[in-house]
Amino acid sequence: MLIKSDPDEIQSFLTDASHMLEGHADEVVFPESAEEVAEILKTATSTQTPVTVSGAGTGTVGGRIPFAGIVLATDKLNQLKSIVHEDPGGRAVAEAGVILSSFQRFVESEGLLYPPDPTERSCFLGGTVATNASGARTFKYGPTRNYVQRLKIALATGDVIDLRRGEVHADTKGQIKIPLASGGFIEAQLPSYQMPATRKHASGYYVAPEMDALDLFIGSEGTLGVIVEIETALVPKPEGLLGGVVFFSSEEDLLGFVEEARSLSLHNRESGSSEAGRLGTLMEKAFEVTSRQKVSSHEDQDHINSSIDARALEYFDRESLNFLRQKYETVPLDALGAIFFEQETNASTEDSVMDSWLALMETHHALADDSWFATNQQDQAKLREFRHALPVLMNEWFARHRQRKVSTDMSVPDNAFAEMLRFYQSSLQTSGLKYTIFGHIGDNHVHVNILPRDDHEGAKAREIYLAFLKRAAAVGGTLSAEHGIGKLKRDYLRLFYSEESLRQMAVLKRAFDPAGILGRGNIFSEEYL
Ligand SMILES: Cc1cc2nc3c(=O)[nH]c(=O)nc-3n(C[C@H](O)[C@H](O)[C@H](O)COP(=O)(O)OP(=O)(O)OC[C@H]3O[C@@H](n4cnc5c(N)ncnc54)[C@H](O)[C@@H]3O)c2cc1C
């Protein structure tokens, strides 16, 4: 097994996209099998050596940054093991260190789709499970959790468990009993808190009545075990895709457009996803009719409404567009905001879907002539690149100014979002600070990035962030909807969970990791251990 300890060689494992400073470790080990991982963990437990699990290091909250002990890198656990087709969809098995973009390409070459799609695709599959990653497509498909069917996990005790969804559940008192290959059990008590009523959540251990034991490990940020192998569910790959970046010169029009696209998508999905799919055939017939005889405007409106089924609805505020204009000169100068949307299509729906989005744009006075659309893969890649460019530019900015990152990841329940967005905007506009607001507006989840230019502004930015956090907690929101807590946000978790809940999380961790070696400092500080 490869082991590296030369400071120059291990430097890249001591940081991540959070740019937290001063990470340090004695060595980085690169196991190649579950048995090797288990052996490392068993030894570390007996010597009380902290172990930080490392994926690709694209995490934004310092989760893989070590502050003692060793780093366990998953880079060499990189086998794509199998794929099976089912009707519909399929399943795939891959090791934790497989790069997400390779996994997605492989799955798509088989005519299938793995929906979780965090914007940064260079992450590892294991990292996305450990953080319950989401992304733009989560609006339609939900987070990573929804697709994990089985996990092979090495525990700190040196045991390896193979957990399949549906096999082990908590009892009515919240006790989980996981059988071990050695014949014994691990017994753990779930914390007594409830999950917030948000569409996304990645803050602390997942808990639900009589939950599946598998769900405990998804989003546990390297604190309960090392995920070695993953079996995922796959869905059929859509035949076609319509993507667009729609610009608006009025914030009110933009929000009206989002509200309507969002509620139509949710409604059409709830009334049977097939409504939109089934409508493919119905629409085809309807539009044949349209070409022959004009249907009434009322019927037209119904057709438009029932065709909208966005899989992504992403927001860019004016400041985000100003940032992006550095790289994309064609961003219209009079745009005050934009929405990136995607909808899956097939040969029979592509025209009607396009017509429906154009009609929605017209209703809400979008800058139609300046907006961008993509129907082929090449153009879609360009739109994705536009979406990806913003967080990358932000991260570069933070690194350049050597300021602590002030970047939010909260989401709030449906009824609180409009007010929350107004609160973000009014607080920032009066602050004089540089900022951007962008992200997953379909899921009531936008990222606010405050860009302090010096320490004074840094302190002001953190004050404003604290006010945002308190407001999010007051309306029943979550601290992190997708990036996790890591080390950067753990102190804020107290605003969302009681002391007792944090202690219960620590007790749960101890059941799986008696010496407290794994992911030290992630989610809660070491004092709770
Ligand atoms: C530009 C940019 C855009 C992003 N956009 C999104 C987005 O849209 N949605 C989103 O969800 N995230 C996003 N992220 C965050 C990041 O990509 C995700 O959190 C990703 O899931 C992290 O994967 P990784 O392999 O890089 O993990 P790392 O950063 O290496 O680790 C993340 C955490 O998981 C733990 N971990 C890693 N592998 C394992 C394992 N095998 N077993 C146990 N624990 C493990 C680590 O200890 C750490 O706590 C973005 C990041 C960047 C830089």
401-426 per-position pLDDT tens digit: 777 768 899 999 999 999 999 999 99
| Nearest atom in ligand 1 to 388's CA | 1
Written as one string, the DSSP assignment of 458-513 is HHHHHHHHHHHHHHHHHTT-BSBSSS--TTTSGGGGGGTS-HHHHHHHHHHHHHH-
pLDDT (tens, 9 = 90+) of the chain, 529 residues, equals 999 999 999 999 999 998 888 999 999 999 999 999 999 999 999 999 999 999 999 999 999 999 999 999 999 999 999 999 999 999 999 999 999 999 999 999 999 999 999 988 999 999 999 999 999 999 999 999 999 999 999 999 999 999 999 999 999 999 999 999 989 999 999 999 999 999 999 999 999 999 999 999 999 999 999 999 999 999 999 999 999 999 999 999 999 999 999 999 999 988 764 334 433 333 233 223 333 333 345 566 666 677 999 999 999 999 999 999 989 999 999 999 999 999 999 999 999 999 999 999 999 999 999 999 999 989 999 998 998 898 888 878 877 877 776 889 999 999 999 999 999 999 999 999 999 999 999 999 999 999 998 889 999 999 999 999 999 999 999 999 999 999 999 999 999 999 999 999 999 999 999 999 999 999 999 898 8
Whose CA is closest to 442, among 118, 200, 114, 144?
200
Q: Which residues lie with the beta carbon below 6 Å from any ligand 1 atom?
A: 16-17, 52-60, 63-64, 74, 96, 118-120, 123-124, 126-128, 130-131, 133-135, 221-222, 226-227, 391-392, 395, 482-483, 486, 519, 522
Position in ligand 1 atom list of the atom nearest CA 221? 49
444 C-alpha vs ligand 1 centroid, how far in Å?
A: 21
Pocket test for ligand 1, best of 19, 20, 64 (most atoms within 8 A of CB): 64
- Strand, coil or helix: 112: strand
Task: Look at ligand 1, atom 11, and give the residue with the nearest C-alpha.
Answer: 133
Helix (H, G, I), strand (E, B) or coil at 121: coil
**Burial class of 300 by CB neighbour count within 10 A (0 to 12, 13 to 18, 19+):** middle
In the chain, the N- to C-terminal Cα span, in Å, equals 31
User: Is beta strand 27-30 parallel, antiparallel or unpaired with respect to 70-73?
Assistant: parallel
How far apart, in whole angstroms, are the C-alpha atoms of residue 204 and residue 197? Answer: 15
Torsion of CA 265, 269, 271, 276, to 10 degrees: 80
Taking residue 63's Cβ as centre, other Cβ atoms within 10 Å add up to 32
Q: How far apart are CA 205 and CA 508, in angstroms?
A: 9
Distance CA 104, CA 119 (A): 13
Ligand 1 centroid distance, CA of 374 (Å): 28
The ligand 1 atom at the shortest distance from the C-alpha of residue 125 is 25
Residue 391 alpha carbon, nearest atom of ligand 1: 1
Residue whose Cα lies nearest atom 46 of ligand 1: it is 64
Residue of 340, 483, 488, 523 best suited for mutating to test ligand 1, as the one with most atoms within 8 Å of CB = 483
Give the torsion sign (CA, 464, 465, 469, 475): positive
Cis peptide before 88 (omega within 30 of 0): yes
In the chain, % helix, strand, coil (3-state, to 5) comes to 40, 20, 40
Residues in contact with 499: Cβ distance below 8 Å, sequence separation at least 6, in sequence order? none
User: Atom of ligand 1 at shortest distance to CA of 60?
Assistant: 15
Ligand 1 center–CA 250 separation, angstroms: 35
* All residues at 6 or more sequence positions from 172 whose CB lies less than 8 Å from its CB, including other chains: 209, 210
Cα–ligand 1 centroid distance for 520 (angstroms): 17
β-pairing verdict for 445-450 and 27-30: unpaired
Amino acid at 225: G
Per the CB < 8 A criterion, the answer to whether 247 and 370 are in contact is yes
- Per the CB < 8 A criterion, the answer to whether 498 and 30 are in contact is no
What pTM did the predictor assign?
0.92
Closest atom, ligand 1, to C-alpha of 54: 30
| Sequence-separated (6 or more) residues with CB below 8 Å from residue 236 | 88, 89, 111, 112, 113
Percent of residues, the chain, with pLDDT higher than 90: 83
Q: Which two tokens stand for residue 154?
A: 């090495």
Residue 161, phi then psi, degrees to nearest 5: -110, 150
b (16+ CB within 10 A) / e for 472-495: bbebebbbbbbbbbbbbbbebbee
C-alpha 245, offset from chain centre: 21
